[in-house]
Copies of this chain bind each other. A is one copy, B any other.
Amino acid sequence: MLKEERQQLILNEVDLHNRVLLTDLAEKLEVSIDTVRRDVKELDGGSKLRKVHGGAVSLGYTHTAARSSNVYALNEKMAIAEKAVGLLKEGAVVFIDGGTTCLEMARMIPPKLKLTCFTFSLPVAIQLAGMPHVDLIFIGGRISPESMISNGAYTIQRLAEVRFDYAFLGTGYVDALHGLTEFDWDVVQLKKAVIRASKKAVLLCISEKLNSQHRFKTCDINEINTMITELSPESNLLNLFRNQDLRLL
């Protein structure tokens, strides 16, 4: 039997039952379990199934599951998040931005650390609301459906009334020369307001975004105090950022 043929049968089986066991597949297709394991591994990452311990499940199956399963570059983001929570100090007043990296950070806040957290991101708020030791304040306003954050004049006004020890920010694009930039003008206005409201701004940014730019500018690099990537601070990729008054983590 051809490999392609076998893989097609595997996809059919998953489509039909939403889940399959590797042992069942091996028996049904009359090949060793290693072979089906390799097949499933190849098919994993496609749009049809996801490999799990002991078998595979159809993509739609776990789609409703709670896990933030389909976060792009999850490992990198978790590495960044881990460094970021390292900066947190007992009793600090911090702001946490929306975006998946910041969401990971919120997830990783240690369970005993007392904090006051501000956010305007619904997913981040849901995370933090589950932490009784975190004093959570949501900055209200009109919620934009794509990003699940509040934005607009009202929100920006509210930001003028507070002052954070640290703001943990994401960005769409970042470049040593052009600073932090975004695709969306409204988002820029919002982030500007956050930076104005914070004593120290910490940028959480996967290395992929380094040296990219877009239309609208949030701020220069030197308005950021610390930049956290998943890379080692000594990495060559960070060279362009090294001669700035910027702490790299």
Contacts and interface: CB of A to CB of B under 8 A. Distances in A.
Interface of A: 2-5, 7-8, 11, 19, 21, 42-50, 52-55, 57, 59, 61-62, 64-68, 107, 120, 122-123, 125-132, 135-143, 145, 148, 150, 154, 158
A57 B50 CA distance: 24
25 contacts: A2-B19, A2-B52, A4-B57, A4-B62, A5-B57, A8-B62, A11-B64, A43-B65, A46-B66, A47-B126, A48-B65, A48-B66, A49-B66, A59-B126, A122-B126, A122-B129, A122-B138, A123-B126, A132-B145, A136-B142, A136-B143, A137-B141, A138-B138, A138-B143, A139-B140
B42 A67 contact: yes
A52 B138 contact: no
Given A57-B5, A65-B11, A138 B150 contact: yes
Nearest to A126: B122
SS class, residues of chain A in contact with chain B: mixed
A142 to B, nearest CB: 5
A21 B2 contact: yes
A193 to B, nearest CB: 14
Nearest to A139: B140
Given A2-B52, A46-B66, A52-B3, A138 B141 contact: yes
Nearest to A49: B66
A122 B124 CA distance: 10
A138 B140 contact: yes
B65 A4 contact: yes
A55 B2 contact: yes
A120 B47 CA distance: 17
A148 to B, nearest CB: 5
Contacts of A127: 45
B148 A142 contact: no
Nearest to A142: B137
Q: Which of A46, A64, A128, A143 has the most CB of B within 10 A?
A: A143
A76 B106 CA distance: 36
